[in-house]
Amino acid sequence: MRLLLAQPRGFCAGVSRAIEAAQETLKRYGRPVYLPHQVVHNEVVISSLESQGIVSVKDVSQVPDGAVCVFSAHGSPPEDYDLAKRKKLKVIDATCPLVTKVHNEAKRYNKEGYQVVLIGHQGHQEVRGTQAQAPMMLVSEHDTIPKIDRPVAVVTQTTLSKYDVAESVSRIREQF
């Protein structure tokens, strides 16, 4: 039997960009730089950033007033930006452009009268940020799709497998 080892794919461009933003922020502003929400789901990378002066916190409320922080590639809800403004934080927004596009599409479809359906994982930072953009229904890849009585627009968490998303989209199309 022949075994082929695939090369690691590495991080997506948005996460690579956010890691670079965190490192550049450290160079520009010095220690500490706060990171509400992990920039990537990789403990080795997080530990490396923390050893350089990044302080990981669970949420914006834990960042000291007036501090410097980097918002992760996963995006954040508007209330995080509002709180950062009230706390007079210097925010470096490293939201992935693809995540921003999902946010904008969700808002647009909602304004046009569609029922926005978000395929994603409850509690994930990207889902939290996307759900805060407009009213929408969250469906995980294997959930039963509820009946919807108006036109539907589907957006997805960008970090999902295209195969899992395709399965959900197929089930939604069967209904509509």
Residues designated catalytic: 126
DSSP state of 12: -
d(CA 120, CA 134) in angstroms, rounded, equals 15
**Sign of the alpha-carbon dihedral angle for 62, 65, 71, 74:** positive
β-strands 68-71, 33-36 pairing: parallel
d(CA 53, CA 55) in angstroms, rounded, equals 6
Beta bridge pairs of residue 71: 93
Element holding 18 (H helix, E strand) = helix 13-29
Question: What is the amino acid identity at position 2?
Answer: R
